[in-house]
Structure 1
Amino acid sequence: MLRLENLLQPFKSVLQKAKVFLRCKRWKETLVFFSFILLALGFWLLQSLQQEYEIEINIPVRYKNVSPEIAFTDTVPSNVTVHVKDKGSVLLNYSFGRRFAPIDADMKNVNKKNGTFHISRKVIESDILKQLISTTSLISFEPQQIDISYSKSVQKKIPVAFNGDIHINAGFQQSGEIIISPSVVNAYASDVILDSLTAIQTVYTEIKDGDKTVTKNIPLQKIPGVNYDPSTVTVTIPIEEYTDKTLDIPVSCKGIPSHYTLRMFPAVIKVTCGVPLSRFKELSADQFSIEIPFANLEQNMSGTLPVELSVKPDWIRNATLFPDKIEFILEQNSHD
């Protein structure tokens, strides 16, 4: 009980000092001072919000029912920049509270050959005014009209590439190639654009804490003037837990002339590599090969030669050899 009182004593002391501080006159004066400052700021803010200001807002343009058989020949505007005037409280709502509906450009009935799609100033202005509060003055907007030139598109099959970063947890590794389905998509655009395209990337995707196979539906990166079919692909990244396996691999040398005898020390190398757990039993020594060309032995005067794997499965990781060099003696046979 005495120990508990000793532990609580510092807290009681701090609490007592806090009570004394809050009772002092200086603290009360400071609190009153800051209260008046906050009150003044509140009145100033209310008064400011009643004054009129001008701001710019962006309203998106949405292109609907665009046939894959047509291609835009120019860059199309993605939004309309609107210049408006109103009280600060209303503009604050425009900036932070309101989400503007897009201006729709419906291209369902356009000619599938060359042509121009037009959205007039009157239509754009009408779509803008529908979304503004009655007290808001529309000063200007840009572009004032939208003219979209298009032509009959050309089709080309283009391979898809994964765009992203893969972060894998310790003890796990990517166990195979990334699979993209479909691996090739149909791209529709003008000849000039398609000639410059060699691959289409997915949107940037980051895989974090990978500890199992990941499958995601990922959209393709948008390129102005290009339509895809399909516009989304399925990406599979095989990830497995890995473990080490050690095998004894003999060193071989082919093409030794009959009048030579080769002695190697050691003649067997220990190979340790990372193996997916699912294929641990599958891995065997006959899937590896360490071969030394005879010419390397003949030209080497030191009697020591580095060794490396000539053949190995492509699904193993981080193969290390011990030792990574051998000593050898090349003896010339005597003739009777």
Structure 2
Amino acid sequence: MSDGSFAFDSFFVLPHLIVIISGMKLKLLNTDRKNRKSIDKTAPQRSRRGRNLLVFLAFVLLSAIFWLLQSLQQVYTSTYSIPVVYSELPPEIGATGKLPDRLDVVLKDKGMNLLAYSIDGFSPVTVTATEQEIRRKKDMSMRKKELTELIQKQLLSTTTILSISPEEIQVTFYPRKKKTVPIILNGTVTPKNGFYAFDPELSPEVVTVYGSEEVLSGITSVETEAFSLDRLDSDFSGEMAINPIEKVLIRPTSVKMKIRVEQLTEQTFELPIITKNVPEGYLLRPLPGKVSIQLTMPTSHYKEISEADLQVAVFHPSTPDSLKSDISLPVQLIMKPEWLKLYKISPAHVQFIIERVQLNQP
């Protein structure tokens, strides 16, 4: 009753508004005629046309408002998409079946109410299952009646649900297998010139993957999301997401990564060259017998290294061509701390002499 009277009142008031606006227009015209006697009669008629246009636009606006109010009182049907969320299952339990992420619902109501639904939207419909229910039965279903009750909680009493698609949610539970695999960083770390970046530290270093035995048999590791850290000159700390794998649940889904960054310093040692792979009865003499090695290292390691931690060597030539006198042998660093990555050996190649030696006869 109130809706109908509202539309009727709107219809009744509109003519009165038109009469009032017309009266205002006549009053403005009379005032304009009185003032026009004191001004030049050749003044342009532009201002009067502008006022006429404003009055016309006012009529159009009032008509549009009246039409809109009338339209919103009519009954319509409209389709809405309502999201569906599922309560998180224990990682050891998987779920398959008809698991829609949205429900398409056709509603019937007055236009004003349907417009409010379009503006405000809907809260997700939550499908829950306790761990006891999961372990007690292997499947669960929600039929149209149950879905209607969940949706109706968000609707006005005047709103009618005409249809829901899909009309049923079916879930089948199954046990998952699990295994632990390491995390591989999928990115690059580049320090700024004059700085050193230590190897990234991950926490945790492994994740647990859940899935069918067949799928898990082919998984030996997981990767982080791709990243690139350039020109680092200070410590870095951040969280890296794990790349998802189809049909596999990964826990945790992200890891924390820390990278220590320090300024570089240099240190130089003179080391004797040892020989390797020399056949019995021969002596390999490198020329010169010592080389200089320049180490570039983080400042925190400057006092941790000595000559005893380093060893350089040349290897006996493995082919006849490499025995020629004009061939030089590369000097290789065969022992060093694991963290040492930047060094320079001078000279990098040395000449050599191979001598036959007399073996002591028993």
Q: Give the 3-state SS of the residue equivalent to 1:106 in structure 2.
A: coil
CA contact (8 A) 2:263 2:298 kept: yes
Amino acid of the structure 2 residue aligned with 1:192: E
Name 1:264's counterpart in structure 2: 287
- Call closer, same or farther: CA 1:280–1:70 in 2, change over 3 Å: same
Q: 5 Å matches for 1:68-107?
A: 68-72=91-95, 74=96, 77=99, 79-84=101-106, 98=121, 100-107=123-130
Q: Does 1:175 align with 2:162?
A: no
CA contact (8 A) 2:183 2:207 kept: no
Displacement, 1:103?
Answer: 1.7
Q: Give the 3-state SS of the residue equivalent to 1:124 in structure 2.
A: helix
Q: 5 Å matches for 1:114-263?
A: 115-132=138-155, 138=161, 140-154=163-177, 156-162=178-184, 165=187, 170=192, 171-181=194-204, 183-185=206-208, 187-201=209-223, 211-212=234-235, 214=237, 216=239, 231=252, 235-248=256-269, 249-254=271-276, 255=278, 260=283, 262-263=285-286
- Call closer, same or farther: CA 1:108–1:203 in 2, change over 3 Å: farther
* Greater Rg over alpha carbons, structure: 2
Q: 5 Å matches for 1:56-67?
A: 56-64=80-88, 66-67=89-90
Deviations along 1:252-308, one digit per CA (max 9) or x if unpaired, are: 2133766546242473032333x2332222133332222111235975223323333
Q: Which has the higher contact order (CA 8 A, sep 6+)?
A: 1
Displacement, 1:63?
Answer: 2.0
Distance 2:357 2:242 in 1: 71
Q: 5 Å matches for 1:3-18?
A: none
Aligned-residue sequence identity (percent) comes to: 19
CA contact (8 A) 2:266 2:295 kept: yes
CA contact (8 A) 1:70 1:112 kept: no
Q: Does 1:304 align with 2:325?
A: no
More displaced stretch, 165-174 vs 278-287: 165-174
Amino acid of the structure 2 residue aligned with 1:244: T
Distance 1:45 1:325 in 2: 92
Displacement, 1:242?
Answer: 3.6
Distance 1:308 1:146 in 2: 68
Distance 2:159 2:343 in 1: 70
Q: Does 1:317 align with 2:338?
A: no
Q: Which has the higher helix share?
A: 2
Aligned length, in residue pairs: 293
Distance 1:260 1:58 in 2: 85
CA contact (8 A) 1:113 1:151 kept: no
Displacement, 1:219?
Answer: 6.9
CA contact (8 A) 1:105 1:119 kept: no
Displacement, 1:148?
Answer: 1.1
Q: Does 1:282 align with 2:294?
A: no
More displaced stretch, 78-87 vs 117-126: 78-87
Amino acid of the structure 1 residue aligned with 2:219: L
Displacement, 1:225?
Answer: 6.1
CA contact (8 A) 1:58 1:80 kept: yes
Displacement, 1:115?
Answer: 1.8
Of 109, 133, 153 in structure 2, the residue corresponding to residue 110 of structure 1 is: 133
Unpaired runs of 5+ residues, structure 2, are 1-45
Q: Give the 3-state SS of the residue equivalent to 2:317 in structure 1.
A: helix
Unpaired runs of 5+ residues, structure 1, are 1-27
Amino acid of the structure 2 residue aligned with 1:161: I
Displacement, 1:53?
Answer: 8.5
Deviations along 1:86-106, one digit per CA (max 9) or x if unpaired, are: 899877766675462342222
Distance 1:108 1:334 in 2: 81
What TM-score, normalized by structure 1, do the two folds share? 0.64
Distance 1:82 1:141 in 2: 6
